[in-house]
Amino acid sequence: MKILHVGWGYPPSWIGCGPVVYVHTLAMAQAAAGHQVVIACASDQAAEGRPMFDPDVSMVEGVPYVHLRNRRVHMHDMWNPLSEAIDPQCAAAFEQVLLSIDPDVVHFHNLVGLSFDIVGVARNTGARLVASLHNYFPICSRDDLFFANAERCDGPRARSCSNCLGTELGDEAYHERHRLGVAALNTCDRILAVSRRVAEIYAAQGVNRELLAVDRIGSVAAEELWRDVGELRSRSGTPPEGPVRLTFFGGVTPRKGIITFLQAIRKVARPEQITANVYGGIGSELVDPIQSVIKSMSPLHASRLAFHGGFSQSDLPQILSNTDVAVLPPRWEDNGPQTVMEALAAGVPVLGTRVGGLPDMVQDGRNGLLFDDGDPAQLAAGIDRLTQDPQLIGVLRQGIEPPVTMDAHQRSLERHYRQPGPARPAPPVAAASAMDQALSRG
């Protein structure tokens, strides 16, 4: 089977981005299973004198990447919402990619930096179309349904995108963008949500419920953590000795809930019974708010807190081996947070919010504890509960199950790929191009 994946970013430049890692490792698993796999990516590369969205091929660990270069913007184009939906130059370049590869399946993962109309271009080839919902970009110009970086949002039909983004363009163009994004998804044969909540959100936005299916993604990093750290730890169920080691790791951004975490630390009843560690680079917009929360803490509370800066995937085994409980409190409807998958795979129970994909992975009282979004008092109460009853941490460890393997996930995807679809027109014929030759050399 010839499979074309479509997304944003590429390794190794963007290997810190969860969906980039996921698509790459999925492609390698599918290639190992005997499929012919290519990834077309919205690339940050430029080529002087070449047209917009100019395709170029490179190989990464045996996987061919078609870089669509010379794009208009690096990621989002919030001031030009309709250009994210309709871009003739992007559509024309993508059509040439399709003609060169002639895939059986086109699997869309991310349309950031591209345009929604490439889905219609793919429809005309006769390939089976599958979309995975890793973010909310087709229905939200920010891609996260998090209004003005402050609170959850029900989408363009409920709130003003112009006000959220500060563009002062009015909302008509954003409404049309939303309509075209939903229409593009409804052009697909199958739409895969990484959690039940994501399926609910997209259905509420107008996506055809009959096309939606929930399919939990696999993670090679989670497999390795389970093998090296988590399996033995979860079997033992041993409670921690000494202070409970809390860890927040990942994106230190408003939507990931870092302020909620810090406010909860400030409210912990017995700060001497915890240590609180933060791993991840801090965005400039959060430096002052974080400092303000820390200044409001008592000296004892503040002394239990440590910031360790950025980290890489290779650091996770050590970080999570030295963690008793992961505190992961996103405030947005986080589709399928990789950090939660990684923490559980390392045998670490999760304190998390009831949003997005978390309730699919964290069962309250079984492998973690859940609390309401943006409620630091509830989170502090959960931390206090664990310090008062450290045996509960051991019980939660025993409730952790093995992660979904990438091999099992790619076999599940193959079933979606092979399901019969409607009759399609024959793919158009085109002469061989330089990209054809590069792909054949790969």
pLDDT, tens digit, for every residue of 18-72? 889 999 999 999 999 999 999 999 999 999 999 999 999 999 999 999 999 999 9
pLDDT of residue 312: 85
pTM of the prediction? 0.92
Any idea where the domains of the chain sit in the sequence?
2-218+406-441, 221-398
pLDDT of residue 419: 81
The CATH number assigned to the domain with range 221-398 reads 3.40.50.2000
Computed over every residue of the chain, the mean pLDDT equals 92
Q: Please, which pLDDT band fits residue 401 given cuts at 50, 70 and 90?
A: very high
Three-state secondary structure readout of the chain: CEEEEEEECCCCCCCCCHHHHHHHHHHHHHHHCCCEEEEEEECCCCCCCCCCCEEEEEEECCEEEEEEECCCCCCCCCCCHHHHCCCHHHHHHHHHHHHHHCCCEEEECCCCCCCCHHHHHHHCCCCEEEEEECCCHHHCCCCCCEECCCEECCCCCCCCHHHHHCCCCCCHHHHHHHHHHHHHHHCCCEEEECCHHHHHHHHHCCCCHHHEEECCCCCHHHHHHHHHHHHHHHHHCCCCCCCEEEEEECCECHHHCHHHHHHHHHHCCCHHHEEEEEECCECHHHHHHHHHHHHHCCHHHHHCEEECCCCCHHHHHHHHHCCCEEEECCCCCCCCCHHHHHHHHCCCCEEEECCCCHHHHCCECCCEEEECCCCHHHHHHHHHHHHHCCHHHHHHHHCCCCCCCHHHHHHHHHHHHHCCCCCCCCCCCCCCCHHHHHHHHC
Q: Report whether pLDDT(437) > 80.
A: no
| Topology, domain 2-218+406-441 | Rossmann fold (3.40.50)
pLDDT of residue 307: 96
pLDDT in tens, 64-103: 999 999 999 999 999 999 999 999 999 999 999 999 999 9
pLDDT of residue 442: 46
pLDDT in tens, 370-385: 999 989 999 999 999 9
pLDDT of residue 427: 40
Higher pLDDT, 433 or 125: 125
Q: Report whether pLDDT(439) > 90.
A: no
